[in-house]
Structure formats: C-alpha cells, structure tokens
Amino acid sequence: MNKTANKNKLFHFNNKNSANFSPSNPENSFKRYLKRFFKKKLNWVILTLFILFILFVYITSLSYKYSSSQPVKNNELFFDLPNYSLNLIFKKFNLDDPIYKIIKNNNEINPNIIISESFVSDKVNLTYRPYLLLKTIYNENYVLLFGTTSLGISRFSNFINSMSKTILIILGIILIQLIIGVILGTYFAFYSKYASIKISYFLFNTISLVPFIVLSIIIFKFLGYSDSKYVLVTSLLGFINFFYNAYNETNIIKNKEYINAYKSIGLGNQRIIWKIIIPSIFFSILSTIGENISLNLLILSSLAFFNIPNIETSLNIGNVFRQIIVDKNNVGYIIFVIFNISFFVFITKLLSLKIHLAYNVKGSK
C-alpha cells in the first residue's frame, strides 16, 4: 500500500513540474538581463536620449501649427521664405510687379520692411524683411523656423512630420521582419542538420547590405513609391539579419542538455520552439533591431538620389533628402536635417550595441 502511494506521489511530482523543468527560467533570465543593462549609468543616458528624441519628434509634429503638406497660405509672399532667424530676402523685381507694389505700400506703414532699394533700368534690386512684411499685412507673427519651400510649405513641419511618419513605418517593418526572420530561422535551424553559419554577423551584414539596397532601388524604380509598397518590399527583403541570428542561436540552444530533457519528458517540438527557444533568443534578436532601423532608413534616404516615381508626393525622409538636393542653399536646414537623422541612427545603433553587450556577458547563462 505504502509503496503504491509513494509511486503515485513520485509520478505526481514529475507531472507537476515537467512544464517548469529548465535550468534557466525565462522570467528570471529577463530580470537578470534588465539588471545587467540598467546597472551601467551610460545605458541610462543612452536610453534617456533615445526616448527624449522620440518624444521631441512626436510632440513637435503634433503641436507645430503649420501643415507639412499644404502651403502656409496660398500666396506668393509665402513662397521660398528664408529661415526665420535670417529674415532677409534679396530679390529683383520689375517695376510693375504686383509683389513689389505690395512691399512698397506696406513699407509706408512700417518703414523697416525695406532695407535697400536700387534701380537698374526697368528693374529694381530689393532687400526686404519678409516676416516683418507678413506681420504688417496679416497682423500675425509667422514663425517659420527654416522658412518655406517653393510651394510655401513649412520646411520644419515637413521634416518633423516626415521623421515621425518614417519612424512609425520603419518600426512596423521591423516587427514584420522580426516575425518572418525569427520564425524561419528558428524552424530551419531546429529541423536542419546543418551547423551554424560560419561567418561573423558583421561580415554577413555587410555582404547582404549591398544586394538589399540595389534590389530595393530596382524594384521601386519599376513599381514607383508608395508607403504600402515600401513596407511590403523591405519587409520581404530585409528579414535576413533576423534569420541569421535566429538560425545561429537556435543551432546552439537545440543541442543543450535541457532541450533533450524536455524531449525526454514528452514535450513536443512545437512547444519547445515556441515556449523555450523563441523566448530564449529574444534578447539576442533585440540587438538586430537597431541595425535594421538604420538599414531601412538608409534604403529610404537612398531613394532620394534616384528618379523614383511618386517619391516627391510622399511624406518621408526620402522626400526630405530630395528637397535638400533641389534646395541646397539653405545650409542651416541641411545641417538640422543631417544632424537629427545622424543622431537618431547613432543613438539607435549605440542602444542596440548596449543591448547586445548586456545579453552577451561572458560566463552568463
């Protein structure tokens, strides 16, 4: 009787704990990972800068009152305005030009509008303060930080909204790339008898970069650009980095003793993949996200240097670079755009590196 009871208790014990049999509990691994990451003050600084940049982009895009796609006013006075800090325009007019007459008439109200005026035959060379002119006419102070385009659209609004939309689209693409790459990489590695890919991630990333960019440009050259096409093309072509990491990590994990122990107690392959392996490789995959954000930004930016159909009508970073190529005299705006995009790429890659280092600790399990 006692022997039977003991056997039942033993059987009950094994049955109860079979689902939790692991030398490395995922929840505890996550806590240890967070402790390692936040233990260093530099990681706090990097993460804070990343969050502040994202907040700056989205709060500004929501609060800045000028449209990113429509002119401030459908009036020639609002076309090609300089940076607000400069507030000077040098322009040649015909004497009978209506704009010249408007400037002259308003200068009688506010004599500070016209700085200098010189006549050459039937032309006049005029230097005037455009923002003071607009304030005199409309009794409103137009603060257009980087002026307007030839269509009267605020450059600052166009950039900040393009940046916010681009970040949102790229994050969606990253999610799709991650899902495709992780699932394919994990399944291929788990059921394959081949070993891990024997080249470094850096070399693999470099080799795959050029074909990805070239192929993307060729596809967009034929199909034209739209946001939906961009999401589709880059999602299907850009998952290879996630595949690489998932494939190699799965090849390492699937031969661990605790995986064999799971199999010995009857846990199926599907449950091992979804419950054990994918959560285990999640942290290593996080470091790839930063790389792919930079890669997708590079693709979108490079489209500006090719005559891609419909790119000029879209609100994205590629269109911003296209405008810079056309309007290359506004040095302040060019520096602002390049600095912000470079900072976003730099802080994202740095955060990605720190995530990678927090995961790959020597001697950690």
Domain at 320, CATH number: 1.10.3720
In a domain, 354, yes or no: yes
* CA neighbours closer than 13 Å in the CB half-sphere of residue 327: 22
In a domain, 280, yes or no: yes
DSSP state of 154: B
**In terms of domains, do 302 and 186 share one?**
yes
pLDDT above 90 for 45: yes
Got the DSSP string for 35-74? HHHHTSHHHHHHHHHHHHHHHHHHHHHHH--S-SSS-SSS
pLDDT above 50 for 297: yes
pLDDT above 60 for 41: yes
In a domain, 346, yes or no: yes
**In terms of domains, do 249 and 337 share one?**
yes
| 181-234 pLDDT, tens digit each | 999 999 998 888 766 666 666 666 666 777 888 888 899 988 888 889 999 999
**In terms of domains, do 183 and 114 share one?**
no
Domain limits for position 181? 21-63+154-359
Q: What's the whole-number mean pLDDT along residues 66-88?
A: 90
Got the DSSP string for 161-192? HHHHHHHHHHHHHHHHHHHHHHHHHHHHHHH-
In a domain, 1, yes or no: no
**In terms of domains, do 313 and 191 share one?**
yes
**In terms of domains, do 30 and 134 share one?**
no
**In terms of domains, do 28 and 131 share one?**
no
| Domains identified in the chain, total number | 2
In a domain, 36, yes or no: yes
The percent of residues in the chain predicted with pLDDT above 70, rounded, is 86
In a domain, 310, yes or no: yes
In a domain, 314, yes or no: yes
**In terms of domains, do 126 and 265 share one?**
no
- Give the end of a domain, one of 104, 138, 172: 138
**In terms of domains, do 287 and 353 share one?**
yes
Of 16 and 63, the one with more pLDDT = 63
pLDDT above 80 for 160: yes
| 87-102 pLDDT, tens digit each | 899 999 988 889 999 9
Q: Say which range, 83-92, 243-252, 285-294, 344-353, has the weakest mean pLDDT.
A: 285-294
Classify 91 as helix, strand or coil: strand
pLDDT of residue 184: 93
Q: What's the whole-number mean pLDDT along residues 237-264?
A: 85
pLDDT of residue 23: 41
Q: What is the pTM of this model?
A: 0.80
Strands 123-128 and 114-120: antiparallel
**In terms of domains, do 44 and 83 share one?**
no
pLDDT above 90 for 18: no
In a domain, 8, yes or no: no
H helix intervals, 224-239: 227-237
pLDDT band at 139 (very low <50, low <70, confident <90, very high): very high
**In terms of domains, do 187 and 129 share one?**
no
Q: Is there a contact between 243 and 283 (Cβ–Cβ < 8 Å)?
A: no
pLDDT of residue 357: 79
**In terms of domains, do 81 and 200 share one?**
no
The identity of residue 122, as a single letter, is D
Of 325 and 51, the one with more pLDDT = 51
**In terms of domains, do 248 and 174 share one?**
yes
pLDDT of residue 203: 64
